[in-house]
Structure 1
Amino acid sequence: MLHRRTLLQSALGLSSLSISGLSTAQTFPSRPLTLVLPFSAGGISDVMARALGLYLAQHLGKPVIVDNKLGGGGQIAANTVLQQPTDGHTVYVAGTAMFAINQTLFRKFSYDPVRSFEPVTALVSSPLVLVVAANSPIKSLDDLIALSKASKQGLTFASQGLGSIGHLLGELFRSKSDTRMFHVAYKGSIPALQDVMTNRVDFMFDPISSTDALIKGKKLRALAIAATRRSSLLPEVPTLAELGIQGMDAGVWFGAAVRSGTSTTVVQTLNHAFVAALRDPEIQKRFESQGMQVQPQTPDQFKQFIQSEIARWTPLIQSSGATID
């Protein structure tokens, strides 16, 4: 009898939880949504999030707030989300580093991008471009490779920071081209690009979203793009694959996720809203003009994409020896 009573109580408890979860899903959203970003206000990712937020507000019928929480390689923003209820009203909007790199790069990291979050969708991506100063003697990829092999000192390449996507792609390029190159880490794209433009550093991989205006303004020269196809913004720039360097398609990407344990119905509701925004012609046109390509996915597709990116970059981070305390 006791055993039957315990089973009944357990069943009732599970039923109550199911009803509660269903009720939350059916009334979602019941209050304003917050998009928490580990990026500063005014940057390209912030502009993207605010544009999507306006669409979400119209689509879901609730205001959308963008909350910028910088620091810790995404940990402050992530923990802000993880401290909220699992009801989908607080969304983590982050990028390649926060979802696929930093958990390996940092000696201590406070969240697991796969276990701590329920993926909603990828949002946008921006392929990386190999750039040199506009007045650099390096006119082509062949020039760069030849010069690096001929120079006793080798060439230098800048990155947005230790373990950044620009750093890792530079390391990958060095190994695939069998060249002598040395990494110089900066704190972000802006100071790195400034030193590339003045020839203090020889070259850099940086997103189209931040280099396009400088290339067209004759401050930088683009040698190649790390993508599977040429960019509509820079149609004259060949891909690395076209130039004989295979397996170098990479870029910065951004995605949305909610706290693990959020109901499937809520995740699907958010997914449909984000995907509808990404498929809006005006939003696509706006993002493409800024060097971003929309990348709508199902939650399962985004989960698999994150896992594939982790598997791709983890060995390279480990072999580079890059770590952050």
Structure 2
Amino acid sequence: MWNRRSVITAGITCLAMGGSVPALSQNFPNRPVTMVVPFPAGGITDAVARALASKMGEQLGKPVIVDNRPGGGGQIAAAYVRQQAADGHTLYVGATEMFVINPTLFRRFSYDPLKDFSPVTSLIASPLVLVVPANSPLTSVKELIAQAKSRNGGLNYASQGIGSIGHLLGETFRGKVGGKFNHVAYKGSAPALQDVMGGQVDFMFDPVITTSPMIAGGKLKPLAIASDKRSPQMPSVPTLAEMGVPGVNAGVWFGAVVKAGTPSPVIDRLNDAIHKAMKDPEVVKRFADQGMQAFPSTPAEFGDFMRTELAKWGPLIKASGASVD
């Protein structure tokens, strides 16, 4: 349904475009819809998009196709979406990095997520969990902090890469608790987790999505969740706030946007289709099984959320000195 803001916006645009917007929105979609993903097939973002695509197609009455265009920290996929018409038939489905980290992390970045795109909805999120090797003598966050302060050379923590969410959260954690922490950057979660499991590094912050199978398999030991509340997938694992370290919260999240200038009624139609797809029992189960927590929003709410996240991570990225050419 249209809200008051959508009606006003549509009316103003209609006057400017001679009535073309109502016709466009009534006929939308008139061809297949494409969800452009800035990662290769098989990744988390790809899995999210494919889980939603078929159910969205049922709602929209047209096929929804997933198009993988990895590279450039999201810039290749974003450039493709920006080349398409602003008519809602092409969505950009990205993660935290594409919307709030990479614009500051990269020295030269080709798009502004708030100016070049219009928000459709947030999709799902997964909090980060602090994990140590399964055979680590550390059994609590308190012990980990004590080790960082007393051990010669401190502790080493892994991350998914320079400027990644795990790196930034690790720096936030270090700033809160003190002690000596040495950052070891990897090229993605998989190699980093491999070295955590092998004991080459002491700990890591990584999403519940990727760590839960290894925790269940007895290869990793969770010490705390970096979230306001405990994870449904790991209800016995306390939050960092419960462990005396408040304000160290982060997670990976995913969302959908369209090219700026897309009519509000079209955005509302996409928002409605995605939300209904996210409520489908098959999709709900798939997300839950993989440690994903759905958090759908209105377009305005998602826009506000991105602005809040940019304000949160931008200064920290600059303070860390992390950058990518």
Please give the TM-score of this superposition, normalised by the length of structure 1.
0.94
User: Superposed, which structure 2 residues align to 1:302-317 within 5 Å?
Assistant: 302-317=302-317
Q: Is the 8 A contact 2:107 2:323 kept in 1?
A: yes
Structure 1 position 74 matched with structure 2 position 74: yes
Residue 6 of structure 1 aligns with which residue?
Answer: none
2-side partners of 1:14 and 1:263: how far apart? 10
Residue in structure 2 matched with residue 41 of structure 1 by the alignment: 41
Match of 1:10? none
Q: Deviations over 1:17-62 (max 9, x none)?
A: 2422222111000000000001111112211110100111111010
SS of match in other structure, 2:168 = helix
- Any unmatched runs of 5+ in structure 1? 1-12
Measure the CA separation in 2 of the matches of 1:191 and 1:130.
Answer: 16
Aligned residue type for 2:250:
A
Partners of 1:91 and 1:256 within 8 A in 2: yes
Match of 1:229? 229
Alignment match, 2:84: 84
2:45 is the counterpart of 1:56: no
CA contact (8 A) 1:284 1:293 kept: no
Note the C-alpha offset of 1:231. 1.2
CA contact (8 A) 1:128 1:251 kept: yes
Counterpart of 1:4 in structure 2 is none
Pairing 1:187-202 to 2, within 5 Å after superposition: 187-202=187-202
Amino acid in structure 2 at the alignment position of 1:209: I
Match of 2:248 in 1: 248
After superposition, give the CA deviation of every residue in 1:232-264 in whole Å (9 maximum; x if it has no partner). Answer: 211110000100111122100000000000000
Q: Once the two structures are aligned, what percentage of the paired residues are identical?
A: 57
Per-residue deviation, 1:139: 1.6
Map Cα deviations across residues 253-285 of structure 1 (whole Å, 9 max, x no partner). 000000000000000000011111122333222
Structure 2 residue matching 1:21: 3-state secondary structure:
helix
Match of 1:318 in 2: 318
Contact 2:73 2:98 in 1 (8 A): yes
Cα distance in structure 1, aligned partners of 2:103 and 2:215: 33
CA distance in 2, matches of 1:157, 1:18: 59
TM-score (norm 2): 0.94
Q: Which runs of 5+ in 2 are unaligned?
A: 1-12
* Distance of 2:16 and 2:311 partners within structure 1: 39
Match of 1:176 in 2: 176
Matched letter for residue 201 of structure 2: V
Summarize the alignment of residues 279-318 of structure 1 with structure 2, pairs less than 5 Å apart: 279-318=279-318
Distance 1:118 1:185 in 2: 33
* SS of residue paired to 1:156: strand
- Segments of 4+ in structure 1 off by > 4 A? 13-16
Structure 1 partner of 2:7: none
1:80-124 Cα offsets, whole Å, 9 max, x none, are 100000000000000101001110000000000000000000000
Alignment check: 8 A CA contact 1:38 1:68 kept:
yes
Q: Check the 8 A contact 2:55/2:280 in 1, yes or no.
A: no
- Structure 2 CA distance for aligned equivalents of residues 165 and 45 of structure 1: 15
Aligned residues: 313
SS in 2 for 1:122: strand
